[in-house]
Amino acid sequence: MLYKLHDDVQHAILGPMATFANIGAALFSHPSSPLAYSPVARNIAAGYELMHRIGKRYEKPEWMLTDTEVNGKKVSVSIETEMATPFCNLIHFVRDLPAKTAQTQPKLLVVAPLSGHHSTLLRDTVRALIQNHDVYVTDWVDARMVPASHGPFHLNDYVKLVRSFVEHLSPDLHVVSVCQPTVPVLAAISLMASDKSPALPKSMVMMGGPIDPRCSPTQVNRLATTRPFEWFENEVIHSVPPRHPGYGRKVYPGFLQHAGFMAMNPDRHLKSHYDFYVDLLRGDEGDAEAHRRFYNEYNAVLDMPAEFYLDTIRMVFQNFDLPNGTWEVDGKLVKPADIKSVALFTIEGELDDISGEGQTRAAQDLCKGIPAARKKHYTAPQCGHYGIFSGSRWRNTICPQIAEFVRQA
């Protein structure tokens, strides 16, 4: 009922309001409009644009990666779908390179998080990696767009999907997982090792993920442990309303996730929107555009399948199945200690408020079978969660370390 009410309000009230505000902003700012030259035009236009951005629906952003630089030369980039499944597409960032050059660059599977935002949240991650690597990315589908006829999607289905992607892209593959997928990726590779699969990747890079959430618990971890499992079932799971292909599917709605994101730092977001308004008044288009780019991504959220979300709450954050050694997938125990030939690199941020320090590093102890010489850990000083995979610290410090580790592996 809550989802339908939100959808109706968005469709009947906020949508038209945002459209009206967008028109108003144009009337008081466009050079060809006589209203743009009135004394208070900039104030009115700024107010209208702020209203427009608060009320509009944010759709999935574009990747906006049309070219890159390889060996000092600019090359074009196109995106192709390598594999299509109901809940996730494996996409390939194809660079226009000579075959000889392409063959010398490592192949990476970047597993993006299924945790509220679209995979384009990793745009900066991919932008840096495609300069020296052949990159594939998991592009998750908004669950409200997946017809209920496709059935449920559990955490164990995620593990099996990752395994199928790894097997498809092998040999000579390296796997990079960012945040939430570190857990299912470690499970998938563990199962492959137990089965002595010939398709095992050469290395796995795990960045800021909840391998063992008992280490340095954050606000996110405490929410999961202070509420009973039934609370999550009853309070945050809703059915997709009409007007969407996934009508009737049980999901954790994106708008509820977004409310949770905003509630974690409300003062910061209020200040950011006020600063945006002030930037518009001053005519500071550079800072205003930076605000637009950030919130175009931040406000674009997707619905998660209810089964996957509830499994994650129970198995990852409440029962700690992976570090406790009690996780089974199709009757097979997940045993990270069985991994012996895959090099491991764990990366954390000292100030990460999503996955606390030590949560990702826990993979080092779980993977007892990997020789110490093929393990590496790095804690980025004074670095928060998003700084691990986005921004100057990612580009200048962390990405070069990954490139070096992958080549050594």
Q: What is the pLDDT of residues 139-161, one digit of tens each?
A: 999 999 999 999 999 999 999 99
Q: Which helix (H) or strand (E) holds 237?
A: none
Look at residue 112 and give its three-state secondary structure.
coil
* CA–CA distance, 295 with 258 (Å, rounded to integer): 11
Indicate whether 269 belongs to any domain. Answer: no
Distance CA 163, CA 340 (A): 17
Range of the domain at 399: 67-224+304-408
Cβ contact 85:139 at 8 Å: no
**pTM for the structure as a whole:** 0.89
Same-domain pairing of 28 and 130 = no
User: Does 75 share its domain with 40?
Assistant: no
Q: Are residues 216 and 357 in the same domain?
A: yes
Q: Judge if 53 and 178 occupy the same domain.
A: no
In this prediction, residue 104 carries a pLDDT of 86
Q: Is there a domain that residue 286 lies in?
A: no
* Domain count across the chain: 2
Residues 110 and 14 in one domain: no
Q: In a 3-state reduction of DSSP, which class is residue 342?
A: coil
Q: How many other β-carbons are positioned within 10 Å of the β-carbon of residue 36?
A: 16
Q: Are residues 47 and 150 in the same domain?
A: no
Residue 249 lies in a domain: no
- Same domain membership, residue 48 and residue 87: no
Same domain, 29 and 107: no
Provide the pLDDT for residue 243: 86
Residue 357, domain CATH:
3.40.50.1820
For residue 107, give the DSSP letter: E
CA distance 320 to 214: 8
Q: Which of 202, 204, 192, 201 is nearest to 329 (CA)?
A: 192
Residues 41 and 126 both lie in one domain: no
Q: Which of 306, 139, 326 is nearest to 234 (CA)?
A: 306
In a domain, 254, yes or no: no
Q: Does a structural domain hold residue 401?
A: yes
- DSSP 8-state secondary structure symbol assigned to residue 124: H
Peptide bond into 171 cis (omega under 30): yes
In a domain, 258, yes or no: no
Q: Hey, which residues does 107 pair with through a beta bridge?
A: 134, 173
The whole-number pLDDT of residue 67 equals 95
**pLDDT tens-digit readout, 259-290:** 666 666 778 878 887 787 777 788 888 888 88
- 244 in any annotated domain: no
Q: Which of 10, 36, 57 is the last residue of a domain?
A: 57
43 and 71 in a single domain? The answer is no
CA distance 339 to 350: 27
Whether residue 133 is found in the same domain as residue 87:
yes
In angstroms, the CA 49 to CA 29 distance is 10
Instruction: State the CB neighbour count (10 A cutoff) for residue 77.
Output: 19
Tokens of 88: 């996730």
Query: What is the C-alpha separation between 388 and 81, in angstroms, rounded?
Result: 27
Each residue's pLDDT, cut to its tens digit, for the chain (409 residues) gives 667 665 655 555 656 766 766 776 777 787 887 777 777 778 877 776 767 676 667 788 899 999 999 988 999 999 999 999 999 999 999 999 988 877 889 999 999 999 888 999 999 999 999 999 999 999 999 999 999 999 999 999 999 999 999 999 999 999 999 999 999 999 999 999 999 999 999 999 999 999 999 999 888 888 888 999 999 999 999 999 888 899 999 999 887 776 666 666 778 878 887 787 777 788 888 888 887 887 777 778 899 999 999 999 999 999 999 999 999 999 999 999 999 999 999 999 999 999 999 999 999 999 999 999 999 999 999 999 999 999 999 999 999 999 999 999 9
If asked whether residues 215 and 341 sit together in one domain, one would say yes
Q: What is the pLDDT of residue 7?
A: 63
Evaluate whether residue 343 is within a structural domain.
Answer: yes
Q: How many C-beta neighbours within 10 Å does residue 216 have?
A: 16
